[in-house]
Every structure is written in C-alpha cells, then in structure tokens.
C-alpha cells in the first residue's frame, strides 16, 4: 500500500499511530532546522514536519529537493501540532516524517493549484487535470456525483428503470441542429447524435417499461451562447398510465428529495403558474420569484392624457422598486441606459418617485397631474419611498424588456440571493409557435407534446390558440427541466405533423417508426427531462455550468486540452466516403 490513510482523515485521536500518506506537494516551508510540507490529495491537506535530528539527513535532503505538485509518499507517527490550524479538518495533528519517497517529479504547474488561482479560463481548460486538483472544481464534481446518486436512489425507489438508448441515431430536421457521424459501412449515409432520447423513451413506454429514466448525454449543434455546451447531460424520464398531475408530483418529489439530501434544504410545495400569467406578471416563462416586483399593466390609467408615447403604445407596464424613491439622477440615468441597450431594446424609461413626504415626482410630470400620478401609485400599491419604473411599446417586446429590468433592479438590490431557492411549475404553454420567416408553425416543446384536452378542437380551426399539456420546472429564474404529456394516438400525431408542415410521406419517413409503434397499443404516457449540468450549478448557487463538467468545451465549442474539433487525415476521409483522393 502506498498509503494507510488519506490526507483528510487523521485527527487528534490518531496520535501515536504510524501512517503512510501519499499525495501532491502543496507547499514547502523551510525554516532551517525545521521543514513543513503541506501534502494534498482529494480528501484534504495534512501537514508533514521534518526536524533536524529527528529525521535522517537523507530524508531531509529529499524534502529540500521538493517543489509544488511533486508526488510523494511519507511515513511516520501522527503527532499533536503545537500551533493548531482551525481552518482545516486535520489542523490538530501533523506527521513526523521518518521516511520520504519521491514517487514522481512535477513540472512547475502553469497556475497555482489553490482555491483562488492565478490561471485564466483558457489556461485552466488547457490543463484541466490540474484545475480539477483545485478544491472548488473537485467539490463541484463531488456535488454532481451526489446529485446523480440521489437521483438514482429516488427514481429506483419509485420503480424507474435506467435504460440506455443509442447515441448513433437518425437525423431529423425539426428543432436545433444535429451533430452527424458518417457511416463508413454505408457510404453517403450518416447517423446523428441524439438531441435527446425523446422518441426512444416513448418507444420504451410502448414496450411496457412503464417507468424509465436515464442520466444521459445529449448533443445539440446550436450556435453557442454563453454557458451552452454542445454536449450536455439530462436526467431524462418517462412514465406510463399517468396524468400531468402524477408527473408533477413525482418530479417535485425528486427535486425536494435532492434539496433535502444534498443541501439539507426543505422546500415547500411548488407553486404553479400558467404560462399566460408568467408572461403577464413577469414578462418571461421562467420567472424568478425569490422577489415580488410583479408587472402592473397601466393602459387604463395612463392613456389619453396627452402623452404621445403612452397613447401610441400597445402596452404600458411597470414595476415597483420598493424603497428606491431616493434613487439619484445618476442611478436613474443608468437604468435608462440599461433598458436602451440593444439587447434590451426599450426606447426609454419613465419613472415615478413616491417621495417620503407623500408628494410625487415623475419624468412625465408635464402630462400627468399629481392626482393622476396618485392613481399610478395606487395601481402598484406603492408606499411613500417607492419608485415605479414604466416601459411602453409593443406588448411582447415591452414585457421582455421589463423582465430584464426587473432582474437587473433585483440584482442591484441584492434580492437574488443564490442561497434562497424558489421553485415553481409553469404550465399550459402554447403548443405551437408561428414562425414569420418560414410562415409555418413550430412545436414550442416538441412535436410529440399533446394538446390540453380542452383545446384539442382548436387543432383544426385555430392551431395557434392550442395550449399544450406541457410543464416546466423553474428555479430562481432558470429553467431546470420540462416535459409534457405525449400524444399516444396515431391520428392525433399525424394531425400534429401536418400542422407542422410535414407531408404524410415526410412524416412517415422521419417518424414512421414511432407512428407505427403507436398502432401496437401505446399506453398514455408523459415525461420530462432536467438539465443536469444546470441543476448542479443551481444547487451551488453558481451561474456557469462549466465547472460542473469535468472536461467542458469553451465558448466556441472547442476542447482546448485535446484540441478538438480537428482535421482528420485524407485516408480517413476517403474511408468515410467524404472526399475523393485525387
């Protein structure tokens, strides 16, 4: 054995025991007659001590030759430290080194292997194996492991079966772009990597598996936005003979279980909100409800008072930044600049200060008398000391901009505490989305989502009006997962494809395998998938998913460590039938 214990294990009770520890040299302090080494492994740091007279000269000389990240093994008794270190779990003891072996020398690492490193992002990714030695990255991976173990335990206890589905599947034109893999044995033909195991898990329901899950890699060749990975992991689930309510309860249960087991946080029952309300009160389908600041629509009180901007707007809508009436000119200008940024897209910002002395001051005093402004304040239930912020314009755009402003103001006011968790379900999404460029409907979730029973009759008359039997779980303004009750009837599925603009032939070509399966007794079924990388980030109160992935890609989709994607040699191309060697 190259060790008897780990570097995170020994305590005061172990004093007197002779141990062997192995690990990496974090630091060496040489004070002449005495020398200390901080020895690190995955489990912690233990201090080694060498003293002239107590350790052999040869051992001391090995110690003096050490530098950062050398791999060593040290043997000796556990002794009590004279100067204890309360910051580490092994801080009461040290090892008096009698034998020391250099197991492997290390080059000087390109950045410091400490909690706060001097390494930039790109460098850390290039040497990710060194980055993972750092406690924050390692603990992120440990959290990921805990979440996956607890997910498996919970789902197993409810009879879910983990079934693997293939990675080499068939490309479909719907949705985000597929990564494709050329088939050497079938020249000119390609597999696609799955964007999700959606159709397979539905086939597993037809197959009678009843409850399926998989912690599974999915691949999407989308243009990379910040914090998107071309390959990512989902907790993918499906159940038979269930209603929407069963799914919500089962997976609310999963998330509650995970928070309780992993963070010791007890979540209350999740509130539920319709998509329509989410848009109306928060301007987005994944509202952050850690704080209030709901939208108040003002059309009925602000129009026809002579202010052209409001008169011509489709929607005038605002939020109440409680307690902010003392905002300075500079702060208000900064908010105006914020909403006018092209990504936000508002043309201006109107404010109303509800002063502490009961008076009002607005940026549109010219058009609105104090009694009118009092009506605004009343609509918001505003108190003296509050600040109302108002945007106006086209309804969708204005809601979107106000949603951004709401988050921005909340951030400034410290209302987005990453340690507070406010989950909710968002329900009743529209089934279809009209695409103006292509002049056709797209499935908002995916083409297998069933309409709400009450809305089925609109499928043939007014498809845009149909609400989906779909649900998203949202936490702190982030979509954690989503799914739907599926169509399990061949005729309805066919109708759906036809609304999406597929000819019968195209539908048969691409999804024939699913529609055919539906002819052999498909049970009613429903499911959902959680973004597992994102889940890890949320549990840690972090924005970025990258540190929860052992070997992530950078923002241009590159793995800078293994240098991928890369060109392949021409022989390989020829074998794959991708090019002719001239």
3-state secondary structure of 485: strand
Alpha-carbon span 237 to 450, nearest angstrom: 17
Report, in Å, the least distance between residue 483 CB and ligand ASP.
4
CB of 228 to ligand ASP, least distance (A): 14
Q: Quote the least distance from Cβ 128 to ligand ASP, whole Å.
A: 27
**Angle made by CA atoms 563, 569, 574, in degrees to the nearest 5:** 140
Residue 195 token pair: 């964007």
Q: At what angle do helices 395-412 and 275-282 cross, to 10 degrees?
A: 70
Smaller CB separation from ligand ASP, 253 or 306: 253
From 424, 453, 463, 318, select the one nearest 376 (Cα to Cα).
Answer: 318
**174 versus 311: smaller Cβ distance to ligand ASP:** 174
Q: Minimum CB separation from ligand ASP for residue 19, in Å? A: 49
Q: How far is the CB of 217 from ligand ASP (least distance, A)?
A: 12
User: 335 vs 480, which CB is nearer to ligand ASP?
Assistant: 480
Name the residue nearer to ligand ASP (CB basis): 194 or 287: 194
Cβ 154 to ligand ASP shortest distance, Å: 17
Q: Which is nearer to ligand ASP, 99 or 152 (CB)?
A: 152
Give the other-Cβ count within 10 Å of 15's Cβ.
Answer: 13
Residue 74 vs 529, nearer CB to ligand ASP: 529
Cβ atoms 353, 362 nearer than 8 A: yes
Please say which residue, 42 or 170, places its beta carbon nearer to ligand ASP: 170
Q: Virtual CA dihedral for 547, 553, 559, 564, nearest 10 degrees?
A: 160
State the minimum distance, in angstroms, from the CB of residue 526 to ligand ASP.
9
Residue with tokens 């929407």: 244
The distance of closest approach from Cβ of residue 528 to ligand ASP in the complex, given in angstroms and rounded to an integer, is: 5
Shortest Å distance, C-beta 109 to ligand ASP: 39
Instruction: Give residues in contact with ligand ASP (CB under 6 A).
Output: 196, 198, 482-484, 527-529
Pick between residue 46 and residue 469 the one whose CB is nearest to ligand ASP: 469
The answer to whether 141 and 548 have CB atoms below 8 angstroms apart is yes
Please, which residues bridge with residue 362 across strands? 352
- Give whichever of 165 and 198 is closer to ligand ASP, judged by the CB atom: 198
Residue with the CB atom nearest ligand ASP in the bound state: 196
Of the candidates 553, 542, 534, the one whose C-alpha atom is nearest the C-alpha of residue 128 is 553
Distance CA(426)–CA(492), nearest Å, equals 24
3-state secondary structure 94-140: EEECCEEEEEECCCCCCCCCCCCCCCCHHHHHHCHHHHCCCHHHHHH
Which residue in 517, 495, 513, 492 sits closest to 504, CA to CA?
495
CB 163 within 8 A of CB 209: yes
Using the CB atoms, write b or e for 295-315: b if 16+ within 10 Å: bbbbeebbeeeebebbeebeb
């Amino acid at each position: 054995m190259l060790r008897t214990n780990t570097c995170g294990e020994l305590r005061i009770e172990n004093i007197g025991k002779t141990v062997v520890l192995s690990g990496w040299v974090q630091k060496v302090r040489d004070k002449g007659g005495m020398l200390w080494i901080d020895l690190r492994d995955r489990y912690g740091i233990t201090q080694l001590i060498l003293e002239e007279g107590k350790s052999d000269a040869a051992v001391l000389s090995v110690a003096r030759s050490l530098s950062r990240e050398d791999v060593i093994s040290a043997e000796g008794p556990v002794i009590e430290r004279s100067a204890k270190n309360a910051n580490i779990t092994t801080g009461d003891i040290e090892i008096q080194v009698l034998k020391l072996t250099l197991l492997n020398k290390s080059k000087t690492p390109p950045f410091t292997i400490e909690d706060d490193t001097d390494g930039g992002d790109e460098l850390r990714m290039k040497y990710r194996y060194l980055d993972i030695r750092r406690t924050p990255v390692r603990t992120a991976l440990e959290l990921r492991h805990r979440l996956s173990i607890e997910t498996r335990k919970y789902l197993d206890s409810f009879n879910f079966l983990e079934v693997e589905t293939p990675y080499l599947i068939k490309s479909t034109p719907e949705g985000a772009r597929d990564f494709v893999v050329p088939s050497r044995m079938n020249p000119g033909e390609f597999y696609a990597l799955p964007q999700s195991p959606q159709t397979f898990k539905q086939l597993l329901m037809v197959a009678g598996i009843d409850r399926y899950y998989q912690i599974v890699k999915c691949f999407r060749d989308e243009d990379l936005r910040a914090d998107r990975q071309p390959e990512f992991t989902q907790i993918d689930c499906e159940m038979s003979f269930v209603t929407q309510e069963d799914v919500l309860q089962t997976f609310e249960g999963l998330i509650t279980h995970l928070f309780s087991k992993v963070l010791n946080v007890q979540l209350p029952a999740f509130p539920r909100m319709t998509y329509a309300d989410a848009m109306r009160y928060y301007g987005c389908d994944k509202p952050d409800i850690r704080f209030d600041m709901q939208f108040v629509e003002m059309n009925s009180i602000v129009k026809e008072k002579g202010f052209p901007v409001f008169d011509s707007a489709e929607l005038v809508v605002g939020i109440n930044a409680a307690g902010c009436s003392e905002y300075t000119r500079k702060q208000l200008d900064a908010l105006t600049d914020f909403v006018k940024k092209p990504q936000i897209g508002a043309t201006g910002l109107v404010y109303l200060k509800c002063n502490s002395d009961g008076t009002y001051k607005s940026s549109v005093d010219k058009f609105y008398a104090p009694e009118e402004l009092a009506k605004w304040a009343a609509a918001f239930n505003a108190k003296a000391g509050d600040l109302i912020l108002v945007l106006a314009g086209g309804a969708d755009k204005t809601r979107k901009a106000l949603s951004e402003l709401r988050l921005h103001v909340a951030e400034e006011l410290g209302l987005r505490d990453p340690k507070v968790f406010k989950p909710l379900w968002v329900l009743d999404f529209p089934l279809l989305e009209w695409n103006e460029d292509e002049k056709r409907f797209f499935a908002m979730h995916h083409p297998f989502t069933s309409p709400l029973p009450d809305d089925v009759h609109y499928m043939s008359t007014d498809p845009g009006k149909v609400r989906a039997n779909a649900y998203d779980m949202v936490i702190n303004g982030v979509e954690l997962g989503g799914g739907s009750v599926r169509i399990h009837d061949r005729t309805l599925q066919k109708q759906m494809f036809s609304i999406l603009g597929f000819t019968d032939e195209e539908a048969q070509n691409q999804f024939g395998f699913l529609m055919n399966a539906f002819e052999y007794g498909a049970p009613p079924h429903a499911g959902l998938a959680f973004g597992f990388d994102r889940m890890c980030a949320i549990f840690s109160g972090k924005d970025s998913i990258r540190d929860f992935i052992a070997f992530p890609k950078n923002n241009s989709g590159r793995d800078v460590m293994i240098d991928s994607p890369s060109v392949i040699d021409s022989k390989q191309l020829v074998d794959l039938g991708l090019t002719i060697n001239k």
